[in-house]
Chains A and B, each alone.
Chain A
Amino acid sequence: MLELGTEQRQGWLVVGVGGRLDTATAPAFDEKRTAWMGEGHRRYVLDLSKLDYLSSAGLRSIISMAKQAGSDGGQVSLAGAQGLVKDVIDLSGFNVLLSTFDSVDDAVAAA
């Protein structure tokens, strides 16, 4: 139900997050995040264009990731959120806390 794929672009790790990021799938995301951080990645773009569903458990994973990346001198940007996922990000104020972009290209170019 959660699909994750990664690609490195200009010093960013672009993480494609597809499907659902919710109570059931957030632990798998957290595990991957720990692995990426262990590999030394600090700057992330989460590509949410294929994410259909995001609940507060998913938001918790994202904010934890942003805190960890920030304390290591990095950051997390969000790109491509649509529909309910965009509504959830806006309602929860994550559009203020994190940099958000319409597309991954915009996010990478803004660095």
Chain B
Amino acid sequence: MTRDFPAGLESLYEALEFVRHAAIEAGLDPRDAQGLELALEEILVNVCNYAYEPGQEGLMRIRVGAEEGRVVVEVEDWGREFTPPRGGPAAHEATCVDEAPIGGLGVFLAGQMLDELTYRREEQRNIVRMTMRTPSCGAV
């Protein structure tokens, strides 16, 4: 299933809803779907805030599918080349509130929730690919 959304935060809930339904339909456990939603929010917010110039109207295309025991979600945009964030200090490594940086957790959490998180640049598009395994032995 593929859908296009305007690349703005006003699309966020609709896009999350679309992916949640499509992923569960593709076999994802509803609890895992929450983790996927969390990861997806981080990726979509990044696209909405940074892919296009301020004031420029842009699209994000979301594709959800099933592939050999996993659900695959791809987010595409036609904006500026995405620079994967460099690993800096993150709150999860801090030991007290004063030291903890305020940001830097989004991509870390996305990576924790997913089985795979990759980025590629193809024909002027940024493509972020996320996968999560689906239960293969039926309900237990």
Contact = CB atoms under 8 A, between A and B. Distances in A.
A83 B33 CA distance: 13
Nearest to A52: B34
Interface residues on B, range: 20 to 34
For chain A, which range describes its interface: under 10, 10 to 19, 20 to 34, or 35 or more residues? Answer: 20 to 34
Interface string B96-119: 111010110110110010000000
A93 B41 contact: no
A18 B63 CA distance: 31
A4 interface: no
B26 interface: no
A53 B91 contact: no
Given A24-B13, A53-B38, A84-B38, A67 B98 contact: yes
B91 A94 contact: yes
Given A91-B92, A92-B91, A24 B12 contact: yes
Contacts, number: 73
A23 B41 CA distance: 8
Interface string B70-104: 00000000000000000000011111111010110
Interface in A22-65: 22-24, 53, 55-57, 59-60, 63-64
B24 interface: no
Contacts of A55: 38, 41-42, 106, 109
A39 B19 CA distance: 41
Nearest to A69: B97
Given A24-B12, A53-B37, A88-B109, A98 B102 contact: no
A57 B45 contact: yes
A96 B95 contact: yes
Interface string A62-94: 011011001000000000000110011001111
A57 B106 CA distance: 8
10 contacts: A22-B41, A24-B13, A56-B103, A59-B91, A63-B100, A67-B100, A88-B38, A92-B92, A93-B91, A93-B94
Interface of A: 1, 22-24, 53, 55-57, 59-60, 63-64, 66-67, 70, 83-84, 87-88, 91-94, 96-98
Interface of B: 9, 12-13, 31, 34-35, 37-38, 41-42, 45, 91-98, 100, 102-103, 105-106, 108-109, 112
Given A53-B38, A93-B91, 6 more contacts: A22-B41, A24-B13, A57-B45, A59-B91, A60-B105, A70-B97
